[in-house]
Amino acid sequence: MSETVFTYAAPALKFGAGASTEVGHDLAALGARRVLLVTDPGVAATGHPARVAEVITAAGLEVTTYDEARVEPTDESLERAVAFGRDAGPFDAIVAVGGGSSIDTAKAVNLLVTNPGELIDYVNAPVGKAQAPAQPLLPLVAIPTTTGTGSESTTICVLDVLSLKVKTGISHPALRPRLAVVDPSLTTTQPAMVTAAAGMDILCHALESYTARWYADFDAKRPEERVPYCGANPIADMWSERALGLLAGSFRDAVRDGSNRVAREQMALAATFAGLGFGNAGVHIPHANAYPIAGRVRDFRPDGYPPDEPIVPHGMAVSLTAPEAFRFTFDAAPERHQRAAELLDPSAGSGPDALADVLATLMRDIGLPNGLAEVGYAEADVDDLVAGSLKQQRLLATAPKPVTDEDLAGIIRRSMEHW
């Protein structure tokens, strides 16, 4: 029997320049007295977390800061953060200030200061035991300082399990932040390449959730089987379409001139809208491929990122196979792919290549690598990349049509060079 029900959930939202200065009031309104603030060293250096801590203290609350969240969290980095939270607690609210990594770290800490057991008990199967939390979590307030990840809206914490060399996650509705505070004045310090990569992540969140398998095309679920990501649906569609429109108007400008405040605000709004969409619909092939593309990096070091470690940033990794992924999925939902292409570029052509062409042109304009070859991959890597993508079955199942290993190999092979 086919599914007839879709679900929609989202955090409360406070958006706009200066919104983060009100967080002391917001936490007090949630009944908090002792607050744990989670951030990472890079974000801490910008001074934003210290300013947030100040407004919390000014509201008469106590705040303890943990500033050692890892960019790209691992099981070990999350366990350290949890140990800190368990030792320094009890707390009655958590605030995350930073990118997806800080927010994801705060989600894991929140889960494990309120619930017994170890991290791996809650990690998605088959890597972990996929246990559901038995106790309610603390209210989590997420204050993103990089636009893109959408982590402030989602139920997911992404992590690398080091011993298994696998990227996986913890996903449960209880992990979703209670309040997202999106303050575009916190994001003006991003280098151009960071804006480009983060913007492609936003764009792919919107495109993948818009082209995801329609919710009614899944098998019917029992109430206890419902998952936060239920496939494309009328409400997620609305957010995705609006996000695409905002990106069409502001993405190139935001990359070209980091001080363009209007463009930055539009990007922050696009990121929020896309998060509200994909946080319920889900993402598919480009995100599945991004896991091994980021995870198997050898020595690629993009401009604008710390030079000490090779990295294919998440948004860049997502974008590199996106044009070919959408060429592949076109026939499953031609009108949706066409509409997305036109929202991004009213002069887009038509047919299976329209969206792929719009994406490749955009990527070239904003200075992203011209495909997988430029970040260090070659024909000899195709099998390993395919194997890595196949581990992301939860994401592949959200694609609008079945995806075989040969399909993935074709997408990856044709993504070596886009123009």
Which residues contribute to the site for Zn ion (CB under 5 A)?
Answer: 201
- Which is closer to Zn ion, CB of 201 or CB of 342? 201
Spatial contact of 92 and 138, defined as CB atoms under 8 Å apart:
yes
- Which is closer to Zn ion, CB of 287 or CB of 339? 287
- The one-letter code for the residue type at 153 is S
Provide the minimum distance between the beta carbon of 28 and Zn ion in the complex, in angstroms, as a whole number.
33
- Which is closer to Zn ion, CB of 65 or CB of 147? 147
What does the angle CA 88 – CA 37 – CA 35 come to, to the nearest 5 degrees? 65
In angstroms, the CA 3 to CA 219 distance is 5
Provide the minimum distance between the beta carbon of 205 and Zn ion in the complex, in angstroms, as a whole number.
6
Residue nearest to Zn ion (CB): 201
Residue 2 is given by DSSP the state: B
- Which is closer to Zn ion, CB of 24 or CB of 199? 199
- Which is closer to Zn ion, CB of 72 or CB of 201? 201
- The one-letter code for the residue type at 276 is L
- Which is closer to Zn ion, CB of 104 or CB of 324? 104
Spatial contact of 389 and 291, defined as CB atoms under 8 Å apart:
yes
Spatial contact of 35 and 63, defined as CB atoms under 8 Å apart:
yes
Cα-based distances in Å from 40 to 65, 100, 175, 217, 311 = 10, 10, 19, 41, 17
- 125-162 b/e (C-beta count within 10 Å ≥ 16 → b): eebbeebebeeebbbbbbbbbbbbbbbbbbbbbbbbbe
Spatial contact of 245 and 279, defined as CB atoms under 8 Å apart:
no
Provide the minimum distance between the beta carbon of 31 and Zn ion in the complex, in angstroms, as a whole number.
32
- Which is closer to Zn ion, CB of 40 or CB of 201? 201
Angle of the 234-256 helix axis to the 261-281 helix axis, nearest 10: 150
Provide the minimum distance between the beta carbon of 10 and Zn ion in the complex, in angstroms, as a whole number.
17
Provide the minimum distance between the beta carbon of 324 and Zn ion in the complex, in angstroms, as a whole number.
17
| Three-state secondary structure string covering 256-289 | HCCCCHHHHHHHHHHHHHHHHHHHHHCCCHHHHH
Provide the minimum distance between the beta carbon of 275 and Zn ion in the complex, in angstroms, as a whole number.
9
Provide the minimum distance between the beta carbon of 245 and Zn ion in the complex, in angstroms, as a whole number.
19
